[in-house]
Structure 1
């Protein structure tokens, strides 16, 4: 949680806007809440599938939880009590767009990120199945030439050591080229995230494919 708040501070300091999955609890919920408190609601855009929209308990939003729990993980998605044509009204967690399914959610999130300026990219804090699935999809998209922006793991307390070890072993065994083994970057401190995104250079081993409108 401390790292999540520190990341929000770094995003605010560097005038970076956040696109994320719309959760109000856990690490990303804390990043969103703190960034909105610093930069305003237009600095955060949550994108959530309609199936995850539930009935709320307080003013259309679940009360914020877990800000004092340093071990809190990803608990739940944003909870709202109404659906509007243009999304959910601005809140302490920013703006929200409702989409029909998970595939649309990921595609729209990626599109919004890629529309950004220099340093745009993907950053992952600790998480579970959904988090690692999204990390690897964006890494694969980079390898396939769909995008060429950075994918950074914020590796607090060695959380991502196992995944990084797997990448190194895959390179050693020949399943990933040495060049593409560098697609997934590591930041051990929050202060390293923005510089790594700015300094990111696409791998020379990426596939030069024509994806049309992708």
Structure 2
């Protein structure tokens, strides 16, 4: 029996949205670390909200939590199903882990993922993962939400991004306080510990939003 199956959460009280790649990356350790995050989420009884894919890091964490008895909600645009959950010709390889919600476009996907979740963790990925991370970070800066935004800095993958943020602050394109929206950890335990102790930086903008698609129903802390 896989380790993840020793813990069987029922009805998680909080959900974490995980942004990550539909690719496994070059090093098998990326997948192993995604699975470890899934096991740690099971231990702490967190449900998963993710992009709905079956492959790469997406599939690794979703499969781990689903097979361990955890709650998984996949949110995927209809147009992406053939890329992130393709059916092989003549066979049904269209795996679905837990509940699937099909939406019309990328904006609706992110808005719903924000509405369903209490926190965000970003794992390695490509352009799409970076876009998701930076948009949700911008939403925090603009007071659309105050939820934890955590990087799982696997194998130093995000070191260049973290240095870019430091450089942007030095060059006065990112304001000092908003540099602290993103917090990074290098292990699954550290990532979840930092998520649980996260204190959102106070936005100097203090904007008020009424868009029901992006206003969170509950913050993590």
TM-score bracket, normalised by the shorter chain, equals: 0.7 to 0.9
TM-score w.r.t. length of structure 1: 0.78
1:19 to 49, 68, 71: 49
SS at match of 2:101: strand
Does the aligned pair in 2 maintain the 1:46–1:96 contact within 8 Å? yes
SS at match of 2:120: strand
Partner of 1:159: 157
The 1:52/1:23 distance shift into structure 2, 3 A limit, reads same
Aligned length: 179
Structure 2 gaps of 5+ residues are 1-30, 216-221
TM-score w.r.t. length of structure 2: 0.76
Partner of 1:104: 108
Structure 1 gaps of 5+ residues are 63-78, 81-90, 114-119
SS at match of 1:123: strand
Partner of 1:88: none
Distance 2:190 2:103 in 1: 33
Residues 46-101 of structure 1 show CA distances to partners (whole Å, capped at 9, x for unaligned) of 01111123462499852xxxxxxxxxxxxxxxx47xxxxxxxxxx4x211111111
Partner of 2:77: 49
| 4+ residue runs over 4 A deviation | 58-61
CA RMSD in angstroms comes to: 1.9
1:205 offset after TM fit, Å? 3.6
Partner of 1:84: none
The 1:144/1:58 distance shift into structure 2, 3 A limit, reads same
Distance 1:126 1:194 in 2: 16
1:146 offset after TM fit, Å? 0.1
1:33 offset after TM fit, Å? 0.1
Partner of 2:146: 148
